[in-house]
Amino acid sequence: MLNVIEDTKLTFLLESDKVKLKFRNMIAEEEPVSRSDDIFVVGDRNRITQVISNLLDNALKFTSEGVVSVNVARKQEDHQEEVIVTVEDTGSGISPEIFPRLFTKFSSKSFSGTGLGLYISKNIIGAHGGKIWAQNNDKGKCGATFCFSLPLG
């Protein structure tokens, strides 16, 4: 999973340099994990990459200056271990009028997209047995956080 995130992040580094953004990548673990210890998810690498790319693309689109963070954590709940990937930005946040239908088709305030990315991402994550959700940071005044979880196999 870490390799997928690193590969995807590299695609966006040049773009982030153009808009005065800093990329942060943090790995949160109950026990420290070395770079050689990867988090393995059983799934379609290309589709999971598509989800991460979509979340990073949205973070860049709505953050003209500031920070985009990508965080990875393991979580154990009810005898099920999962990985949680979080993409957080310090951009404009999610509009209150869009928020209730955020993961539905054609819901976007951007003029540079179709409004299908989050809908597709929700279906990809759901097909892998995971969940995807979002929240505004500080009531929408300081960006948004998008998270998805996937079961570890």
Domain ranges in the chain?
2-151
Q: Which of residues 58 and 5 earns the better pLDDT score?
A: 58
Confidence tier at 135 by pLDDT (50, 70, 90): very high
Distance CA 102, CA 81 (A): 27
pLDDT tens digits, one per residue of 7-23: 676 666 655 555 555 55
At 143, which amino acid appears?
A: G
Is the pLDDT at 47 greater than 80? The verdict is yes
Cβ 74 vs Cβ 39: under 8 Å: yes
User: How large is the average pLDDT for residues 79-108?
Assistant: 88
Is the pLDDT at 140 greater than 80? The verdict is no
Assigned fold of 2-151: Heat Shock Protein 90 (3.30.565)
Distance CA 32, CA 149 (A): 20
Residue 35 has a pLDDT of 43
Contacts of 25 (CB under 8 A, 6+ apart): 5, 6, 9, 69, 70, 71
Is the pLDDT at 121 greater than 60? The verdict is yes
Measured from the Cβ of residue 82, the count of other Cβ atoms closer than 10 Å reads: 19
Entry pTM: 0.79
Cβ 116 vs Cβ 106: under 8 Å: yes
pLDDT exceeding 70 applies to what percent of the chain? 71
* Residue positions counted in the chain: 153
